[in-house]
């Protein structure tokens, strides 16, 4: 845990240092948002472009690091904490990837987010699936429905299936690289469909158990 903590601290520090370095060279209007087909449709000021993502990364890291300490079932999180800490690391790397793409675009290296986002999202979803395979009942991490939280058996069955579906969603997301204009569909459709199905599945398994 200490090792990952220091790595996260280093990544946060690196992102702020990067912001300080690039700030004087960014344009006054920084491209900061892209639509579903990878076209710029939103701009921000130089300060926001340089520092908003590092600030978000720092806040999210702090919140995610705090969760095991406030969860009433924190003893269960301790059982899979190395996977949880690993997920924080993968998630922050994903955020920094988005930050890097934004900076590169504004320096003239116009790599479409629809080219790199499927890779980043697929990696994030695949590791999330690994986390689900090991997650024990808790209030913050995992597929938390009234039925998974009410039954350890339903929790395990739902998370076992969820891990399979999220791994499949990660693979489908990669197909979006081949079809940049439809990449957002390959990214969102599988994960949303899987999540809705898992909610229904947890309810049906709970009723079956009763």
pTM confidence score: 0.91
**Worst-scoring range by mean pLDDT, 40-44, 143-147, 161-165?**
40-44
Average pLDDT value for the chain: 94
Enclosing H/E stretch for 196: helix 183-209
Backbone dihedral region for residue 74 (phi beyond 0: left; psi -120 to 50: alpha; all else: beta)? alpha
Over the stretch 81-98, which tens digit does the pLDDT of each residue have? Answer: 999 999 999 999 999 999
Q: What is the dihedral of CA 25, 27, 30, 34, to 10 degrees?
A: -100
- DSSP H helices, 71-182, are 74-79, 81-106, 113-134, 152-175
Over the stretch 36-49, which tens digit does the pLDDT of each residue have? Answer: 888 899 999 999 99
For range 107-119, the mean pLDDT: 91
Q: What residues have CB less than 8 Å from 103, skipping those under 6 apart? A: 18, 22, 26, 49
The ranges assigned to domains in the chain are 2-209
Q: What is the pLDDT of residue 1?
A: 57
């Amino acid at each position: 845990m200490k090792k990952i903590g220091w790595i996260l601290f280093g990544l946060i520090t690196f992102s702020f240092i990067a912001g300080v370095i690039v700030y004087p060279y960014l344009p006054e209007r920084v491209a900061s948002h892209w639509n579903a087909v990878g076209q710029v449709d939103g701009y921000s000021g130089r300060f926001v472009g340089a520092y908003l993502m590092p600030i978000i990364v720092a806040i999210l890291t702090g919140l995610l690091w705090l969760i095991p300490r406030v969860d009433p079932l924190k003893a269960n999180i301790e059982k899979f904490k190395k996977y949880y800490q690993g997920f924080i690391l993968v998630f922050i790397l994903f955020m920094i990837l988005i930050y890097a793409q934004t900076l590169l675009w504004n320096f003239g290296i116009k790599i479409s987010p629809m080219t790199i986002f499927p890779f980043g999202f697929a990696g994030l979803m695949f590791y999330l699936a690994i986390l689900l395979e090991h997650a024990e009942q808790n209030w913050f991490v995992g597929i938390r429905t009234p039925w998974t939280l009410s039954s350890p058996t339903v929790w395990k069955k739902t998370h076992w299936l969820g891990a399979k579906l999220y791994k499949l969603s990660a693979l489908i997301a990669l197909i979006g690289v081949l079809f940049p204009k439809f990449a957002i569909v390959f990214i969102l459709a599988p994960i949303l469909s899987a999540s809705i199905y898992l909610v229904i599945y947890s309810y049906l398994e709970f009723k079956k158990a009763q």
